[in-house]
């Protein structure tokens, strides 16, 4: 049995506020003892409502948030020890807001090329640009995007660009934090389909953060349900959705998008 | 709640609200640039277009009124040509002002951006320094520095730099603190871009606009400061001349030859007005974006 | 959870509404909403479903008389409980709002005054004859909204409440002056799914108890499915389909509706069935000679570039598709 790609053990994250001039507020515990294992090549979902701590866990994995306590292991090595750029490169992130995840002043090409050059993945400017074109095509964007700025693109297109950028440094684990929540309904599907395809074609491991069980269902193999900083239920998507054990999971399920079955013949669809 | 969410291109929502303001903003910017531009051209060409040496005294022709032959704006108490003195004085005031702007701007924006981005001790120290400097009444601080260092242009520039950089630092720090939470900055960090590069390429360009606008209105204050120093005799020393010293010299003759004081005053106003209009126009452009 | 309309008692009629935006005088007007028609009765909840750029929010604001600057009515009728909103003067509209129409917005934190206690905000909207009366009305409304200790909670500030509770306060304010029509602009979009469920339940109860009509704008088909009696689908500034909710969702008669239903991940749907819609909605101001969905439509024919009308298909069904019969045939028995 191959070892899991990502192992999170008893993760705690506390935030310290300040109330009043002199007394410190009780620390707010955003993540309380979370355990997770993600196998190589799988699509793993972390689901919960706002404030559940799922984004905080994602940020810890990616290096944007320092955990208060706990162990994170990636490909057998401690994540904390992988602080160097080379190590962290293997884990990349796609963010929720397509309107703030791209620098408005940089052209798309400039943004991707910067990542390639900074990580030594392209020998020259020309090579970097060529690779950037490849990446854009991988996500279904035309090479003409290279010289345009983010404002020329819609939300869905920006998310594709953000995915291309994340893939530029050739990660093994892609963390997607609510990547479709800010998008129009008809565009969400295309991003989900893209993520699924990329995951299969590139052998990526996907950690998918969402509040939407229906979305998770379409994309992921296993799921962990979080509430108030804790994982309250986990398992394969099929079994958790079919037989939720925890009451909260049940209420999440009840609230998930439910439509009456479409009564249109298959060929017409 | 904005209609922008329901209107497909973001630019439409901006166009609707911002368009009218952009017009007045653009007019302001254009007019202000024209005014300041003209002034700068005029004073730059002072050696060429000034009718006389600003320091050439003509005891036989003192206090000549404007319109006298050879002296378009008259002469002062020592027979020196007013127009020439205005032009040469303007060189000092405008150039030193704009020049003295560059150092506080650069230092302030850099320090503020880095501190805002990094946080931690650097930021804590900066905030402390800002608070201390702001606690002092600025003019007194400046005058005190000038007293200590002795009058002259170098002193002016040093004094302004020491006192003024904090305003830019504070502004840049606030903006940097906001920008550093933007997801494109986070993406760069996750992507392995080194911090110095994030500051240079991602933060500074997105932070610099407001300090530039502020700089324009700051320039007005600096001009006033320089001319005030000149008035007090602490600025440019003779044989140099500036609008402030001209006003000081003209004090005794205010009853009879009021234009000697008023003309340099008008020059100061025009310069200040032009810069304010530029600041206004830029600010509206910034808003409308 | 569905409320049942108690006989046809229309309180809202919108006919052929056209909204244009003019950035500055002399500019060519940009058409944002082109000929929207919809209606609502007491006792029913009408869902207006669409994505960004569909014109659904603007339509709602036109009904409430709250169009943003630069956008105005270029044609059509809006009738709310017998009052011609389209022609009414701004002065009259201000008087009407509250008593005729209540509006609930998406972001409760910006629609509520953060420095005023919630009870006072509700009382202010109540337009009662005396302060005591207003306060009683506010406490009563809080109770209806599910606040267990209304007399005490009357004194709370918005920031002391959760998102769902703030939204209930907004609903209370909207209903304070007893209007027959409640307009909701994506009120649950910013709320968690479980909280949304409770707010939807509340709205369903209110329609029954108060015999009001609700027009509910949303981009979320799941929400519309749960709450609404009737669904109106909008795309690129016009209505493309209308009908009883269940009917529209099971047997859509417009390709856009069908495509939308296929693109939404659902709890019980099959992974293989998810299908994205190619292309993107047209930007406002792009000239649309015929059906706005034609460029992305799998069933488009050359005739689809000619202007299309909304056609009454009987049984309360409307469709703006030339080929609606094709979809009718495609319905399984």
Residue C270 is predicted with a pLDDT of 66
Give residue-wise pLDDT tens across range A214-247: 888 878 999 999 999 999 999 999 999 889 999 9
> How near does any CA of chain C get to the CA of A182, in Å?
10
Q: For residue C252, which residues of chain A lie inside 8 Å, CB to CB?
A: 262, 264
| CB of C321 closer than 8 Å to CB of C255 | yes
Which chain C residues are within 8 Å of A193, Cβ to Cβ? 274, 276
Pick the residue with more confidence: C83 or A176?
A: A176
Q: How far is CA A165 from the centre of its chain?
A: 13
For residue B8, the chain A residue with the least C-alpha distance is A154
Instruction: Tell me the C-alpha distance between A19 and C109, whole Å.
Output: 22
Q: How far apart are CA B229 and CA B235, in angstroms?
A: 5
- Closest residue in A to C282 (Cα–Cα): A154
List the structure tokens of A155.
Answer: 């939300």
Nearest to A100 among B184, B189, B190 (CB): B184
Contact status of B21 with chain A (Cβ, < 8 Å): no
Q: How far apart are CA B268 and CA B272, in angstroms?
A: 6
pLDDT one-digit tens code per residue, B82-118: 888 888 888 888 888 888 899 999 999 999 999 999 8
Task: With a cut of 80, say whether residue A43 has pLDDT above it.
Answer: yes
Question: CB within 8 A of C34, min separation 6: which ones?
Answer: C18, C55, C237, C238, C288
Could you tell me which chains touch chain B, where touching means 3 or more CB pairs under 8 A? A, C
Sign of the CA dihedral with C56 first, then C210, C245, and C306 last: negative
| A1 interfacial to chain C (CB closer than 8 Å) | no
Distance CA B9, CA C257 (A): 23
**C246 Cα to chain A: minimum distance (Å):** 7
User: What whole-number percentage of chain A has pLDDT above 90?
Assistant: 59
Residue C84, token pair as written in the block? 């011609």
Nearest chain B residue to C67, by CA: B3
Interface A-C, measured as beta-carbon pairs within 8 A, has a size of: 136
Distance CA B211, CA B165 (A): 11
Nearest CB to B187: which of A88, A89, A165? A165
The pLDDT assigned to B211 comes to: 93
Q: Do B20 and C24 touch (CB under 8 A)?
A: yes
Distance of CA C24 to the CA centre of its chain: 29
pTM summary value: 0.82
- Looking at beta carbons, which residues of chain A come within 8 Å of C332? 263-265
Query: Pick from B112, B283, B127: which is nearest to B203 by CA?
Result: B112
pLDDT reported for residue C286: 67
- Helix H, strand E, coil C: the string for B183-231 is HHHHHHHHCCCCHHHHHHHHHHHHHCHHHHHHHHHHHHHHHHHHHHHHH
**Closest chain B CA to residue C284:** B8
Best B191, B198, B289 member to test A by mutation, with max A CBs in 10 Å, is: B191
Q: What is the DSSP letter of B81?
A: B
Taking contacts as CB-CB distances below 8 angstroms, the residues of chain A near B5 are none
Nearest CA in chain C to B23: C24
- CA dihedral B32→B33→B37→B40, nearest 10 degrees, is 60
With contacts defined as CB-CB under 8 Å, which chain A residues touch B188?
103, 114-115
3-state secondary structure of A11: strand
Instruction: Please list, in sequence order, all residues whose beta carbon lies within 8 angstroms of the beta carbon of residue B264, skipping any fewer than 6 positions away.
Output: B86, B89, B227, B243, B244, B246, B247, B250
Question: CA–CA separation, A137 vs C151, rounded Å?
Answer: 61
A259 closest CB neighbour out of C51, C225, C271? C225
Residue contact C225–A258, C-beta within 8 A:
yes
Q: Please tell me the distance from the alpha carbon of residue B277 to that of residue B269, in angstroms, as a whole number.
A: 12
pLDDT of residue A107: 93
CA distances from residue A148 to A94, A99, A183, B186, B209 in whole angstroms, order as listed = 20, 15, 21, 21, 21
Mean pLDDT of chain A: 88
pLDDT of residue C168: 93
CA of C236, closest CA in chain B: separation in Å? 9
C258/A193 CB distance under 8 A: no
- How many angstroms separate the CA atoms of C194 and C204, rounded? 16
Whole-number pLDDT of residue A267: 64
The answer to whether C263 contacts A185, with C-beta atoms less than 8 Å apart, is yes
ipTM: 0.85
For residue B2, the chain C residue with the least C-alpha distance is C68
Read off the pLDDT band of A268 (50, 70, 90). low
What residues of chain C score a pLDDT lower than 70? 1-8, 90, 95-96, 269-272, 284-287, 332-333
- The answer to whether the CB atoms of A101 and B187 lie below 8 A apart is yes
User: How close, in Å, is residue A39 to chain C by CA atoms?
Assistant: 21
Tell me: cis bond preceding B239? Omega within 30 of 0 counts.
Answer: yes
Q: Alpha-carbon distance C109 to B94, whole Å?
A: 49
Q: How high is the pLDDT of residue C128?
A: 74
Residue of chain B whose alpha carbon sits nearest to that of A91 = B190
Query: Which regions in chain B score pLDDT beneath 70?
Result: 1-23, 287-289
B9, B117, B190, B199: best mutation site toward chain A, by most A Cβ within 10 Å?
B190
The verdict on C30 touching B (C-beta cutoff 8 Å) is yes
Strand order in the sheet with C10-21: C30-41, C10-21, C71-80, C83-84
| Partner residue facing C330 (CB), from A190, A251, A264 | A264
Across residues A254-263, what is the average pLDDT?
Answer: 86
Q: The tokens of C182 are what?
A: 């409640």
Q: Is the Cβ pair A95, B206 closer than 8 Å?
A: no
Minimum Cα–Cα distance from A217: chain C residue: C267
- pLDDT, tens only, B194-211: 889 999 988 998 899 899
Tokens of B101: 């702007």
User: d(Cα B159, Cα B107) in Å, to the nearest integer?
Assistant: 14
């Amino acid at each position: 049995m191959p070892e899991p790609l990502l192992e999170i053990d008893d993760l705690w994250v506390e935030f310290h506020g300040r109330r009043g001039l002199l007394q410190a507020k009780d620390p707010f515990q955003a993540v309380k003892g979370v355990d997770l294992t993600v196998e190589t090549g799988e699509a793993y979902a972390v689901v919960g409502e706002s404030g559940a701590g799922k984004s905080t866990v994602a940020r810890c994995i990616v290096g944007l948030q320092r955990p208060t306590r706990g162990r994170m292991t990636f490909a057998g090595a401690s994540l904390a020890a992988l602080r160097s750029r080379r190590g962290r490169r293997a884990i990349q992130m796609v963010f929720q807001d397509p309107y703030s995840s791209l620098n408005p002043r940089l052209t798309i090409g400039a943004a991707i090329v910067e990542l390639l050059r900074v990580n030594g993945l392209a020998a020259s400017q020309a090579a970097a640009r060529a690779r950037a074109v490849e990446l854009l095509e991988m996500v279904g964007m035309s090479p003409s995007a290279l010289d345009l700025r983010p404002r020329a693109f819609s939300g869905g297109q920006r998310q594709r660009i953000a995915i291309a950028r994340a893939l530029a440094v050739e990660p093994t684990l892609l963390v997607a934090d609510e990547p479709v929540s800010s998008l129009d309904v008809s565009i969400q599907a295309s991003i989900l389909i893209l993520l699924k395809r990329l995951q299969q074609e590139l052998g990526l491991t996907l950690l998918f953060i969402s509040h939407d069980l229906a979305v998770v269902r379409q994309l992921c193999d296993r799921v962990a349900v979080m509430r108030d900083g804790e994982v309250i239920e986990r398992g394969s998507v099929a079994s958790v959705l079919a037989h939720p054990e925890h009451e909260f999971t049940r209420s999440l399920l009840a609230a998930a998008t439910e439509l009456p079955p479409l009564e249109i013949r298959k060929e017409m669809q | 709640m904005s209609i922008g969410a329901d209107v497909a291109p973001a630019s439409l929502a901006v166009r609707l609200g911002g368009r009218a303001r952009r017009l007045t903003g653009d007019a302001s910017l254009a007019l202000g640039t024209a005014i300041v531009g003209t002034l700068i051209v005029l004073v730059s060409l002072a050696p060429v277009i000034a009718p006389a040496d600003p320091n050439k005294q003509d005891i036989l022709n003192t206090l000549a009124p404007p319109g006298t032959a050879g002296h378009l704006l008259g002469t002062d108490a020592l027979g020196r040509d007013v127009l020439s003195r205005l032009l040469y004085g303007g060189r000092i005031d405008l150039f030193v002002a704009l020049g003295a702007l560059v150092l506080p701007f650069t230092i302030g924006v850099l320090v503020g951006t880095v501190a805002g981005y990094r946080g931690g001790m650097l930021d804590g120290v900066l905030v402390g320094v800002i608070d201390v400097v702001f606690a002092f009444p600025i003019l007194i601080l400046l005058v005190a520095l000038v007293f200590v260092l002795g009058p002259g242009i170098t002193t002016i520039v040093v004094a302004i730099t020491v006192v003024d950089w904090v305003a830019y630092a504070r502004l840049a720090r606030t903006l940097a603190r906001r920008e550093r939470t933007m997801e494109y900055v986070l993406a760069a960090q996750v992507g392995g871009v080194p911090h110095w590069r994030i500051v240079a390429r991602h933060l500074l360009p997105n932070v610099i606009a407001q300090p530039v606008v502020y700089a324009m209105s700051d320039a007005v204050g600096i001009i006033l400061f320089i001319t005030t120093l000149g008035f007090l005799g602490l600025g440019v020393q003779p044989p140099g001349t500036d609008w402030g010293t001209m006003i000081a010299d003209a004090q005794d003759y205010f009853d009879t030859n009021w234009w000697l004081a008023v003309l340099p005053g008008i020059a100061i106003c025009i310069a200040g007005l032009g810069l304010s209009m530029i600041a206004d126009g830029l600010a509206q452009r910034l808003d409308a974006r | 959870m569905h409320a049942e309309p108690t006989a046809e008692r229309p309180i809202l009629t919108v006919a052929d509404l056209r909204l244009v935006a003019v950035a500055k005088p002399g500019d060519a007007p940009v058409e944002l909403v082109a000929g929207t028609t919809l209606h609502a009765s007491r006792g029913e909840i009408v869902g207006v479903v669409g994505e960004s750029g569909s014109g659904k929010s603007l339509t709602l604001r036109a009904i409430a008389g709250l169009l943003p600057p630069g956008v105005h009515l270029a044609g059509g009728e809006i009738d709310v409980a017998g009052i011609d909103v389209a022609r009414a003067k701004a002065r009259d509209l201000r008087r009407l709002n509250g008593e005729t129409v209540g509006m609930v917005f998406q972001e409760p934190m910006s629609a509520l005054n953060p420095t005023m206690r919630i009870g006072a905000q509700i009382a202010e909207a109540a337009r009662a004859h005396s302060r005591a009366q207003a306060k009683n009305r506010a406490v009563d409304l809080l109770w209806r909204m599910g606040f267990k200790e209304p007399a005490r909670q009357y004194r709370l500030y918005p920031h002391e409440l959760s998102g769902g509770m703030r939204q209930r306060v907004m609903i209370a304010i909207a209903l304070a002056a007893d209007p027959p029509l409640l307009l909701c602009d994506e009120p649950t979009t910013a709320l968690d799914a479980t909280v949304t469920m409770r707010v939807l339940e509340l709205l369903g109860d209110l329609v029954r108890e108060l015999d009001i009509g609700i027009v509910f704008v949303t981009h979320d088909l799941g929400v519309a499915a749960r709450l609404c009696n009737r669904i109106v689908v909008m795309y690129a500034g016009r209505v493309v389909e209308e009908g009883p909710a269940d009917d529209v969702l099971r047997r859509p008669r417009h390709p856009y509706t069908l495509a939308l239903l296929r693109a939404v991940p659902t709890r019980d749907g099959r992974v293989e069935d998810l299908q994205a819609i190619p292309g993107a909605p047209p930007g406002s101001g792009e000239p649309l000679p015929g059906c706005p969905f034609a460029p992305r439509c799998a069933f488009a024919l050359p005739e689809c570039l000619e202007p299309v009308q909304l056609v009454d298909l009987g049984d309360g069904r409307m469709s703006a598709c030339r080929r609606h019969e094709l979809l009718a045939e495609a319905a399984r028995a």
